[in-house]
């Protein structure tokens, strides 16, 4: 069954009329939601540490950054855009004590609600609007008169108006133009984690590293290896984004397309798919969420170790040198 998709014509901003929306956090998603909603005519306040870089940015954008507890006291609708690992502590300390019946608690990702690290009381609405793009894109597309597609979910409808509020939020950030797909917290959370871990981040990062290692260990120059397994990804990804796998294959050479069919299934095969299923199960049963929370509560020792380890990988070292030769990429030195 096709997923329900809603547009501007299917709702309005009325769900937020007369309400104060507090955006908690002014990072990638926070700045976009706050500005887009304000430009849509919604009353918006922002919670962020005033002395931080994001707090100073909020001030530059015309907001007065408030402490979280003060913002919650002033608001009717909350939008949490803080990092997943930080949200439970902030919720318990500054949000939960200041919630009143009839308020709305909004999320841009279902992680904490789905895995039970945040459990809002029964007398508040719990909703989600998750743009399928980074915050800067959400802002840019809105400024151009368009919008990034969003996912929308109603987890708890205490007032009977949760859907109206969620739809107003989605329309206010541009999702009514890009298309707002109706889902639930479970599906959004689990598919998002799976995509990140198995394909978009984890899978892709490991493919790049293993491809680089295979070529360099076979005696090929690391510079050539970097170009072939990393640099040219942008071309392929952009073609796929525009027209799917079919358009990508149409646009590349016959040699490349033949090799796609001939060798691809030998690398990513049914055994890989079986391991993907195991990874999905680990997400579904809460195993990944527990591992993430446990490492965070210890100060992220394993996480930080992996960060430093991969910074020393050959593909990162040679890539840094080669990107410096291409100023048109606007290279970033981490």
pLDDT tens-digit map of 148-166 = 999 999 999 999 999 999 9
Q: How far apart are CA 288 and CA 299, in angstroms?
A: 17
* Torsion of Cα atoms, 299 then 303 then 304 then 310, to 10°: 180
Question: Which residues are the active-site residues?
Answer: 109
Instruction: Report the chain's mean pLDDT, rounded to a whole number.
Output: 96
pLDDT at 1 over 70: no
> How many alpha carbons lie under 13 Å from residue 305 in its C-beta half-sphere?
7
Question: Using an 8 Å Cβ cutoff, are 26 and 48 in contact?
Answer: yes
State the average pLDDT over residues 119-132: 97
Encode burial over 189-222: b for 16+ CB neighbours within 10 A, e otherwise. Answer: bbebbbeebbeeeebeeebbbebbeebbeeeeeb
pLDDT tens-digit map of 201-220 = 999 999 999 999 999 999 99
As a three-state string, the secondary structure of 257-304 is HHHHHHHHHHHCCHHHHHHHHHHHHHHHCCHHHHHHHHHHHCCCHHHH
pLDDT tens-digit map of 19-51 = 999 999 999 899 999 999 999 999 999 999 999
pLDDT tens-digit map of 296-326 = 999 999 999 999 999 999 999 999 999 999 9
pLDDT tens-digit map of 177-194 = 999 999 999 999 999 999
* Kind plus residue range of the DSSP H or E element containing 99: none
For 151, the token pair is: 């996912």
pLDDT tens-digit map of 75-94 = 999 999 999 999 999 999 99
pTM reported for the whole predicted model:
0.93
């Amino acid at each position: 069954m096709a997923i329900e998709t809603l547009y501007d014509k299917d709702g309005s901003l009325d769900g937020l009329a007369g309400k104060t929306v507090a955006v908690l956090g002014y990072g990638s998603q926070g700045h976009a939601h706050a500005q887009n909603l304000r430009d849509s005519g919604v009353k918006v306040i922002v919670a962020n540490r005033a002395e931080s870089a994001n707090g100073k940015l909020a001030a530059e954008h015309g907001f007065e950054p408030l402490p979280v507890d003060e913002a919650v006291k002033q608001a009717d609708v909350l939008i949490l855009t803080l990092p997943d690992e930080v949200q439970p502590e902030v919720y318990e300390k500054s949000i939960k004590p200041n919630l009143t019946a009839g308020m709305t608690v909004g999320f841009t990702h279902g992680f904490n609600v789905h895995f039970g690290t945040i459990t809002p009381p029964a007398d508040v609405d719990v909703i989600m609007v998750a743009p399928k793009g980074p915050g800067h894109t959400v802002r840019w597309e809105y400024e151009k008169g368009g919008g990034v597609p969003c996912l929308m979910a109603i987890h708890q409808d205490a007032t009977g108006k949760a859907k109206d509020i969620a739809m107003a939020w989605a329309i206010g950030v541009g999702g009514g133009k890009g298309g707002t797909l109706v889902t639930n917290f479970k599906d959004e959370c689990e598919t998002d984690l799976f995509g990140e871990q198995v394909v978009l981040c984890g899978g892709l990062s490991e493919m790049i590293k293993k491809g680089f290692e295979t070529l360099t260990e076979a005696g090929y120059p690391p510079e050539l290896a970097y170009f072939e397994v990393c640099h040219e990804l942008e071309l392929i990804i952009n073609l796929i984004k525009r027209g799917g796998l079919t358009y990508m294959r149409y646009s590349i050479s016959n040699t490349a397309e033949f090799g796609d069919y001939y060798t691809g299934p030998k690398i990513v095969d049914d055994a890989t798919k079986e391991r993907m299923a195991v990874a999905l199960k680990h997400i579904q049963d809460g195993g990944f969420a527990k591992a993430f929370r446990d490492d965070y509560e210890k100060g992220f020792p394993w996480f930080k170790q992996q960060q430093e380890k991969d910074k020393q990988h050959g593909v990162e070292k040679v890539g840094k040198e080669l990107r410096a030769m291409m100023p048109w990429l606007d290279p970033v030195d981490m």
